[in-house]
Amino acid sequence: MKIGIIGNGLMGSAIGYRLLERGFQIYLYNRTKERSNALVKKGAIRMDRPSMIGKECNFVIISVTDGQAVKEILFGDNGLVNCDNKLLTVVDTSTVLPEDSIYCASLMKKKGYAIIQAPIMGGPDATKKGDVITIVSGNKKISEKCRKILTNFSKKIFYVGNQDGVANYIKLGLNLNIALIAISLSESLVFIKKSKTDPSIFLEILNSTYFKTGLSEIKGPKMIKNNFEPKFFLKNMLKDIQLLNECAKHNGASLSFSSLAEQYYQMAANRGYSELDYTAILKLFNEFNNLPPSHQIK
């Protein structure tokens, strides 16, 4: 089966690797062609325009950063709607405003094309292992048709309803949870270090209790070693918190901690940490407390 992947960043590439490994023929498009080089070496085929992928593939996965990029991919001069393939089904895994997903789904339907939302919980490494959670909203019949693809990189799929945009609300809420856990863990580590106690002992004990999280187990040891190799960019976490706060304002929800989280991640971005992992928020709190990045106790 031929599958197109538009957006070959960390997640789009991980999906591509997984699907290639599972025997699918993969077609790629990315605005920056170099990002798809590694997948091309693995056997994927690079195309020059989204519309070309739409002509070649009946299923296309989109994995890009924001709603404007999704709209350009779908409706731009070289967009998917110009492929003239009415068998096309689009799976949008991007984390965007629910309003953007609703707009795109409505216009796609008017033009005779199928689309669902399918944001992913889990990073690139988990995607390559087929170990992520995919949250799906949109037409149920179309969603079931896409399941045969999604199951190749998802350990579990949650269908959350026929209404477009619902999956995006849930994804934003989940990402806020992650952002706040990263802040909480960072402040705990700062407290431990300021107390001249070894943070590795703190982590060992934390991760022996039922209060542990995947973040404390997987990211915590890296954080205390100042390892912020990006699996999910800090700039993207900031973007998602901003989207959530925009939704909250529109929906009349007062969310004090999400507002504070946006301020902290914005400060971290302003200090040049945008291209690091989102857990580099610890660097910001270290700076607040005049702490060196190393976990060594003096």
Q: pLDDT by residue (tens digit) across 84-123? A: 999 999 999 999 999 999 999 999 999 999 999 999 999 9
Contacts of 31 (CB under 8 A, 6+ apart): none
For the chain, domain boundaries: 2-164, 168-288
- The pLDDT tens digits for 32-70 are 989 999 999 999 999 999 999 999 999 999 999 999 999
**What is the pLDDT of the chain when averaged over all its residues?**
96
What pTM value is reported for the model? 0.94
CA distances from 259 to 97, 179, 215, 256 (A): 17, 12, 21, 5
Q: By three-state DSSP, how is residue 18 classified?
A: helix
- Report strand pairing: 2-6 vs 59-62: parallel
pLDDT at 153 over 60: yes
Can 2-164 and 168-288 be said to share one CATH topology? no
Q: Which two tokens stand for residue 115?
A: 């689309």
Q: Please, which pLDDT band fits residue 296 given cuts at 50, 70 and 90?
A: very low
- Backbone angles phi and psi of 249, in degrees to 5: -60, -45
Fold classification of 168-288 (topology level): N-(1-d-carboxylethyl)-l-norvaline Dehydrogenase; domain 2 (1.10.1040)
- The pLDDT tens digits for 7-39 are 999 999 999 999 999 999 999 999 998 999 999
pLDDT at 295 over 60: no
pLDDT at 297 over 70: no
2-164 sits in which CATH class? alpha beta
Pairwise CA distance, residues 104 & 99, whole Å = 9
Contacts of 9 (CB under 8 A, 6+ apart): 30, 35, 63, 64, 65
Quick one: how far is CA 234 from the chain centroid?
Answer: 11
- pLDDT for 147 equals 97
- pLDDT for 292 equals 85
Q: Which two tokens stand for residue 174?
A: 């989940």
Q: By three-state DSSP, how is residue 90 classified?
A: strand
pLDDT at 174 over 80: yes
CA distances from 115 to 92, 106, 112, 228, 275 (A): 7, 9, 10, 35, 31
Q: Please, which pLDDT band fits residue 229 given cuts at 50, 70 and 90?
A: very high
168 residue type, one letter: N
Quick one: how far is CA 274 from the chain centroid?
Answer: 15
Comparing 192 with 293, the larger pLDDT belongs to 192
- pLDDT for 294 equals 57
Q: Is the separation of the CB atoms in 96 and 118 below 8 Å?
A: no
Q: Is the separation of the CB atoms in 28 and 51 below 8 Å?
A: no
Q: Which two tokens stand for residue 42?
A: 């693995």
Q: In what order do the strands lie in the sheet with 45-46?
A: 45-46, 25-29, 2-6, 59-62, 89-92, 114-117
Q: By three-state DSSP, how is residue 78 classified?
A: coil
- pLDDT for 293 equals 72
Pairwise CA distance, residues 260 & 30, whole Å = 34
